[in-house]
Amino acid sequence: MDLQLQNEFSLRKPPLRSRIMRRIRRTYQYDTRFWRISIAGPWAAGMFAFALAALGLPTGLGLGMDLLMFLFTATIAMFLVAHGVAVLLALTGLPAPRLFIGTILFDLGAVFFIFDGDESLEISIAVAIILTLIGVITGLMAGLIFKIYNSSPAGGRLRTGIRIMCALCICVVVWSVISGSTKSIQSVADSDEAMNSPAEPGTYAVTTFNYGSGKDMWQPEFGASTDLVSQPVDASAYITKWSKYRTLYLGYDQKALPLNGRVWMPQGSEDETYPLILIVHGNHLMEDRSEAGYAYLGELLASRGFIAVSVDENFLNYSAWTGIPDNDMKVRAWVLLKHLQQIHTFAQSPGTPFFDKVDMNSIALIGHSRGGQAIAMAADYTKWFKSDTTLDNVKQFNIKAVAAIAPTDKKVDGMNAKLKDINYLTIQGANDGDVSDFDGDRQYNRTSFTKGTDSFKASLYVQGANHSQFNTDWGLRDISFPTGILLKRDNFLSGVNQRMVAKLYISAFMETSLHGQEQYMSFFRDYHEVLPMLPETTYINQYEDGHFTIWTRFEEDSNRKSLPKNGIADGKNIIWREEETKNRGKSNKGDHALILERSHPSSEESVYSMSWPNRAPQPAGGPPQALSFALADQSKTLDEIQEKANSDSFAVEIELMDKHGTKSRLPLSHFNDLPELSEVQFTLHPWLELHMSDGKFNNPTEAIFQTYTLPMTDFISANPEFAPEEGIKSLSFILIGDRGKIMLDDIGMY
């Protein structure tokens, strides 16, 4: 009997649900201890990005609370995302450290999202990749170190030491982000001149106090603890866009804006009155308050006999949570005028610290950034507020001087402020990453004087100065985080030195404008007169006053050969043309100037001449004493296709001819060298210059003018037969040596 054995083997796949569960259970099988330790790198990179976000999105609860909330939320989010990605990768069966990959993907997405709100797609992608790679590399190095030394007899102590070192490194990185360290160019000289400078405290003792609404929930000094209660003002006629969340945060809306001020007052005799100076900040983040950052100016000015008030306009600033009110620029000026009215009321009220102490006929305004534009608008207030009957008594107040630090200059209601017979000073940093164009130059050009008055205007351009360090509370970054991390900080003036420049020039300006201290006028005519008191860096300055007799501003007509008073212009072996000056962003400054270009080096001179049939316009007060003109060196803008110019061999000479035909000629270097054209890299890499902030850093330079004042006595010394007292018949600018290019403006006589 045959026995037939049949063995049947039936191979069947496990059910899908079982396969899925098995893979999920094995999600972390490749995430060995090495990879789990390596997660520390991506985690640190992610936390760094979220710390930047916390700095750029303040809640008003304080930096510590903001960092705690953001980092806690980020850690939870990374945990959830990383584990979710790990599970998904497990379902695909990918043989890789899935949890580690999940943290990497979280970093890429989170960093991109954090930067995408502020910057272009290209920058967001680049930063996300670079920061994530740094985290990955750092994590792998940490994992490798732990792996190598894990079995070492001293491994435990070593691992503890490594943890401590890592913690210290993280603290250093966070501290560098928050506060930053700068490379100071050089401290101000410790000299007799510095000790006697107007930047030094005066003889008055100073008392400080605050006035405010009495209801401020965030700043007790303006709330329950305020020293003097002010009346709120209704700005609803100007502001229609005001977020309800802004009201919820602040506790008030545009119908009840507070008048808050920090006051520094000199203590003198009982019957003494003092000029009043208002200081106003710009558009920093609303929750990161700004007005206390000018205490260094307030204390100095009060010690020298001025009542200084730093005005709170933080409620008009931008918030990442609630945006910015409409018409904020106009309301900034309006609120300043309301402060003048409130202080005038205090000054007439017995029992207040202001009573009989304020000279409302001697007022000055200081503004920074948007505040720098607001003060000019407040001085020219009728242009915007002529029909506002609540400001009727403002005409009683005499605003004599306006000092703007890195001001903006945008049209409001299609108009710009124009100042007449008001002293004007503007200070601009060459390394300003916020207001990167020298916008104060525009207001300088729109400031004019009645012939023969003592009013003056001046500008100072400071190499190494940035935007934020003029305020002690704004830190180093001119752009808020996270984008601010991409700005370059090398070769900044230190904050102390930068504020020394502001103290010296603003104090001298107020002493001259409000106290009549004429000894400081040389500061504004030529910065070389005050160099021993200044930090060592490059400066460029302009100056003009009511005694200036203008020959030409190159704005009279479109004919380049015609000059005022029947004058004639001509050129020989030179390229010359009139054009509108442009800022760094290549938009027009609203001012025309003359371009002179020596295109090819040769033995023949390049000459531009100005002549008059009889004589050039004469100064009204007597014979000409000094020739004055503004000059900007443009040689670095020459076409790079041509052979690069040797700037050391390019020179400018000045030749004057008197009414009788006698000439006198001197090199410009006899008086001062050509102004150095500043080239600035604002960001960490040249590629970022092209793409960051809509390309506003694309051009490293703009036309910055230096005023030259050339005494006639020097020309007489060069040729004793030269007789300028009867008039000047011609002026020539002579370019010699290698290729070169200059720009001229505001030519005339004192």
Domain match, 410 and 302 both: yes
State the residue range of the domain holding 148. 16-178
Please report how the helices 155-178 and 40-56 are oriented relative to each other, as an axis angle in degrees rounded to 10.
Answer: 20
Q: What is the DSSP string of 159-177?
A: HHHHHHHHHHHHHHHHHHH
Q: Which of 134-143, 158-167, 660-669 has the highest mean pLDDT?
A: 660-669
Arithmetic mean of pLDDT, 198-210: 97
| Helical H segments across 5-97, by residue range | 16-25, 33-38, 40-56, 63-92
The reported pLDDT for the residue numbered 649 is: 86
Q: Could you tell me the sign of the dihedral formed by the alpha carbons of 374, 375, 378, 384, in that order?
A: negative
Sign of the torsion formed by the C-alpha atoms of 337, 338, 339 and 343: positive
Q: Please say which residue of 178, 213, 242 terminates a domain.
A: 178
Q: Which residues pair with 414 in a beta bridge?
A: none
- Nearest 5°: phi and psi at 429? -90, 135
Decide if 3 is inside a domain. no
- Give me the DSSP letters along 387-430: T-GGGGGGGGS-EEEEEEES-----BTTB---EES-EEEEEEET
In a domain, 362, yes or no: yes
**599 and 676 fall within a common domain:** yes
User: Can you give the pLDDT at residue 178?
Assistant: 52
Examine residue 7 and state whether it is found in any structural domain, yes or no: no
Specify the range with the lowest mean pLDDT, choosing from 163-177, 203-217, 283-297, 443-457: 163-177
Residue 344 CA to residue 349 CA, distance in Å, equals 9
Do 374 and 421 have their domain in common? yes
Q: Give the chain's mean pLDDT.
A: 89
Q: What percent of the chain has pLDDT over 70?
A: 90
- pLDDT(309) > 70: yes
Q: For residue 191, what pLDDT band results from cuts at 50, 70 and 90?
A: very low
Q: 174-188, 194-208, 607-621, 633-647 — which one is most confidently predicted on average?
A: 607-621
245 shares its domain with 158: no
- Angle between helical axes of 495-514 and 295-303 (0-180°, round to 10): 40
More confident residue, 258 or 180: 258
Q: What is the pLDDT of residue 648?
A: 62
If asked whether residues 365 and 471 sit together in one domain, one would say yes
Of 155, 178, 201, the residue that ends a domain is 178
Q: Are residues 364 and 329 in the same domain?
A: yes
What was the pLDDT predicted at 165? 55
What CATH number is given to the structural domain containing 689? 2.60.120.260
Residue 85 belongs to a domain: yes
Query: According to the model, what pLDDT value does residue 18 have?
Result: 76
Phi, psi (rounded to 5 degrees) for 242:
-140, 115
Amino acid at 22: R
Q: Which of 525, 545, 565 is the last residue of a domain?
A: 545
Question: How many domains does one find in the chain?
Answer: 3
Q: Which pLDDT band, with edges at 50, 70 and 90, does 261 fall under?
A: very high
Calculate the CA 228 to chain-centre distance.
Answer: 33
Which of 517, 477, 472 lies closest to 498 in space, CA to CA?
472
The better pLDDT of the pair 530, 584 is held by 530
- What is the pLDDT at residue 194? 45
Residue 182 has pLDDT above 70, yes or no: no
**pLDDT of 181 higher than 90:** no
Q: Are residues 132 and 233 in the same domain?
A: no
The pLDDT assigned to 701 comes to 81
Evaluate whether residue 11 is within a structural domain. no
Residue 184 resides in a domain: no
38 has a pLDDT exceeding 70: yes
Q: Give me the CATH number covering residue 507.
A: 3.40.50.1820
Residue 6 covered by a domain: no
Q: How confident is the model at residue 148 (pLDDT cuts 50, 70, 90)?
A: confident
Q: What is the pLDDT of residues 412-449, one digit of tens each?
A: 999 999 999 999 999 999 999 999 999 999 999 999 99
Mean pLDDT along residues 606-611 = 96
pLDDT at position 613 over 50: yes
3 state SS of 354: coil
Contact status, residue 589 vs residue 632, Cβ threshold 8 Å: no
Both tokens of residue 149? Answer: 């030394």
pLDDT at residue 162, rounded to an integer: 54
**C-alpha closest to that of 379 among 336, 414, 415, 413:** 336
**743 and 708: one domain?**
yes
> Could you tell me which of 600, 334, 619, 369 has the C-alpha nearest to residue 470?
369
Is there a domain that residue 353 lies in?
A: yes
Q: In 35-66, which positions are buried (b, 16+ CB within 10 angstroms) versus exposed (e)? A: bebbbbbbbbbbbbbbbbbbbbbbbbeeeeeb
Digit-coded pLDDT (tens) for 619-656: 987 889 999 999 999 888 776 544 444 556 899 999 99
Kindly report the number of other CB atoms within 10 A of residue 372's CB atom. 29
Tokens 């027009």 correspond to what residue?
588
195-199, 399-403, 572-576, 612-616: which has the minimum mean pLDDT? Answer: 195-199
One domain for residues 460 and 568:
no
pLDDT at 636 (0 to 100):
81
20 or 378, which is more confident: 378
Query: Do residues 561 and 503 both lie within one domain?
Result: no
CA distance 282 to 278: 13
Angle (deg, nearest 10), helices 98-116 and 121-149: 150
Pairing of strands 419-420, 447-448: parallel
pLDDT tens-place string over residues 473-531:
998 889 999 999 999 988 899 999 999 999 999 999 999 999 999 999 999 999 999 99
User: Is there a single domain that holds both residue 210 and residue 168?
Assistant: no
Residues 554 and 540 in one domain: no
Q: Look up residue 146 and give its amino acid.
A: F
Q: Which of 389, 299, 336 is nearest to 344 (CA)?
A: 336
